Amino acid sequence: MNNDVGIRPLFDRVVIKRIDERTTEGGIVIPETVTDKSQRGIVVAVGPGKTVDGKIQKMSLKCNDHVIFGKYSGTDITIKGKDYLIIKEDEVIAIID
User: Which residues sit at the interface with a copy of itself, rule CB under 8 A?
Assistant: 2, 6-11, 13, 15, 26-31, 39, 45, 48, 51-55, 57, 60-61, 68, 70-71, 75-81, 86, 89-90, 92-97
Query: 2-28 burial string, b = 16+ CB within 10 Å, else e?
Result: eeeeebebeebbbbbebbebeeeeeee
Cα–Cα distance list, 15 to 25, 26, 29, 52 (Å): 23, 22, 22, 21
Other Cβ atoms less than 10 A from the Cβ of 66: the count is: 16
Q: Tell me whether residue 17 or residue 48 sits nearer to a copy of itself (CB atom).
A: 48
What is the nearest approach in angstroms of a copy of itself to the Cβ of residue 87?
9
What is the nearest approach in angstroms of a copy of itself to the Cβ of residue 5?
9
What is the nearest approach in angstroms of a copy of itself to the Cβ of residue 96?
6
